[in-house]
Amino acid sequence: MVRAHAKVNLDLRVFGTRADGFHELRTVFQSIELHDTLICTERPGPFVIKSRASAVPLDRSNLVWKAGAALWKALGRPGDPCDTVVTIEKVIPVEAGLGGGSADAAASLLAFARLWGGAPVTLLREVAAGIGSDIPFFLSGGTALGLGRGEEIYPLVDLPGHWVVIVQPAFGVSTAEAYTWYDEDRAAGLKEPRELQVLPVPWPSRAAQMVNDLEPPVVRRHPEITEIKMGLKDGGAVASSMSGSGSAVFGLFRTRAAAVRMLGPLAKGGARTHLTRTLTRDEYERRSRVVAKRIPARIN
């Protein structure tokens, strides 16, 4: 059993398009407690993914499948991965910018490494970066700077603990959509002034100013995002922003009570709200360890 914790982006700047077609980024990732749970077991036969969540693909397009196939190959094993069943208990909203698929992939790499006889962490990092830009972050978590496509990770001093309210609008935004809209708006010469938000905590990272360059293009197509942000601010959030490529919006709160007060009022128009909190790198490491559950032997 392994937990796959979601993230929010405390900042996300886009610096144009690279020769390989990816956007050059500078982002600040922050782990949160909200998590999926993966149960990986050995069973003779083909590799299988199970999930009750309709949004989770069960075929080779699942990032957990890609992680399994890539690690299998990197370990020098022939053919497709096998003898493994993965059950994904999905809690992290999909197409929300919370990195759910990437978190699952990273967690599955840790579980497969355990199940398949071990793998050095350097190999896991290499495999992670090959499957998706955000996945290397999920191997260490906490507060971290992501450069390049977001795959080059530099740990930052942890953000002091905050309560987090996530508002998941009734619509999702795929990562590809958000970047297409960003490019379209740039081509049309549209540019928004950046509104910096200072996080009022004794914390030496000036990298996190809660600016998200993907937010204006998404807001132009979904103005509800601004309404939610304002609702969080009016409710006492020290800062609020869209996470990653959206559609989820989050607010940081100093107290649990203040965060809880927002859950009801912001759950309207089909939106869902989630209460969670930030995780430091140490907490993340402890909570993301693979737990080997033994099934007690049956006594007849």
User: Which residues are known to be catalytic?
Assistant: 7, 134
Which region among 95-103, 136-144, 251-259, 291-299 touches ligand ATP (by CB under 6 A)?
A: 95-103
| Residue nearer to ligand ATP on the CB measure, 95 or 283 | 95
Nearest residue to ligand ATP on Cβ basis: 101
104 binds ligand ATP (CB under 6 A): yes
Helix (H, G, I), strand (E, B) or coil at 261: helix
Of positions 31, 143, 175, 197, contacts ligand ATP by CB under 6 A: 175
62 binds ligand ATP (CB under 6 A): yes
What residue has token string 């959030």?
Answer: 237
Which region among 94-102, 184-192, 263-271, 283-291 touches ligand ATP (by CB under 6 A)?
A: 94-102
Q: At what angle do helices 121-131 and 100-115 cross, to 10 degrees?
A: 140
Q: Residue 58 is which amino acid?
A: L
Q: Judging by beta carbons within 10 Å of its beta carbon (0-12, 13-18, 19+), is residue 85 exposed, middle or buried?
A: middle
Q: How far apart are CA 67 and CA 279, in angstroms?
A: 24
| Residue nearer to ligand ATP on the CB measure, 130 or 236 | 130
Distance of closest approach, residue 66 Cβ to ligand ATP, in angstroms: 8
Give the number of other Cβ atoms within 10 Å of residue 55's Cβ. 12
Site for ligand ATP in 182-241 (CB under 6 A): none
102 binds ligand ATP (CB under 6 A): yes
What residue has token string 């993340």?
Answer: 284
Site for ligand ATP in 21-60 (CB under 6 A): 55-57
Distance of closest approach, residue 201 Cβ to ligand ATP, in angstroms: 24
| Residue nearer to ligand ATP on the CB measure, 54 or 300 | 54
Is residue 253 within 8 Å of residue 165, measured between CB atoms? yes
| Residue nearer to ligand ATP on the CB measure, 84 or 102 | 102
| Residue nearer to ligand ATP on the CB measure, 65 or 235 | 65
Q: Which residues contact 298 (CB under 8 A, 6 or more apart)?
A: none
Give the number of other Cβ atoms within 10 Å of residue 297's Cβ. 6
Cα angle value 31/36/42 (rounded, 5°):
125
Residues of the shown chain interacting with ligand ATP in the complex, contacts defined by CB under 6 A = 55-57, 61-64, 88, 94-102, 104, 134, 175, 244-245
